[in-house]
Amino acid sequence: MENDAKTVTIRKLRQEEEIEARDIVVSAFYGQIVTLRAAVCFVLAVFSGLRHILEPLIFCLYVILGLLMTIFHAVTNSVLISVVLTAAWSLPTAWGLIYCSFYGLYVRSRRRELDHLYSYYNGKAGSKFWVAVCGEKIVGTVALDRVSDTVAELKWMSVLPEYRRRGVGTRLMKRFEGFCRSERVRKIRLHTSRIQPEALRLYQKWGFVWTNTTSLAAMHGHYLLQKLI
């Protein structure tokens, strides 16, 4: 099978494709967020100091690890063994919290949008949803959510793993920016998080820069990036 970006067509999402597109979006974000690397980053954030303690997930992990250490100490009567056992449990506990957050807070909170991608983006003035198609198969997605006359938000950028690093994402981004310029959009913004380092590097490669985040976004480990065009 040819995975070259030249064989890929970028076009608007069709109504009969919205379930396939949703599955690609959810699986792509699951692959970025609910990973061992994300769990390691999460645990490192916990033990890097108290500056992150008010973030909801990190606060929960502090509480759970504190309870585990108390239980282990009650059973073993050894501080050292309690610390070792608690550290051993930190990664699976962190992974479980990230999993619950992904489906409980992220996917379910956007269920209406994700289940109706075609009607959501076709029914909102100035918004679009594009797919990258190879043959009859959707291999990538990107959405434009119009915020104002001059500001657009980039959402649901995803490419199937076997089509990555072949220019598919770049072509989706060019289509996105080309539409923005034709519509006189001057600023593109997007949200990402500390546990999506690969996505962050890619957006920075495309010219996005960090901006100041709100205290609420910072509490959840989310960052706002933007690009002027």
| pLDDT tens-digit series, residues 92-137 | 877 777 666 666 656 666 777 888 999 999 998 899 999 999 988 9
Distance CA 99, CA 205 (A): 28
Tens digit of each residue's pLDDT (9 = 90 or more) over 20-77:
999 999 888 777 666 666 666 666 665 655 445 446 666 777 788 889 889 988 999 9
> What pLDDT does 3 receive?
47
- Residue 149 CA: distances (Å) to CA of 126, 137, 179: 9, 33, 13
Q: What are the structural domains, with CATH classification, of the chain? A: 1-229 (3.40.630.30)
Q: What is the CA radius of gyration of the chain?
A: 20
Distance CA 130, CA 25 (A): 12
Distance CA 164, CA 153 (A): 22
Average the pLDDT over 81-101 and give the result.
Answer: 78
Q: Which H/E stretch holds residue 12?
A: strand 8-12
Query: What letter does residue 44 receive in the DSSP assignment?
Result: H
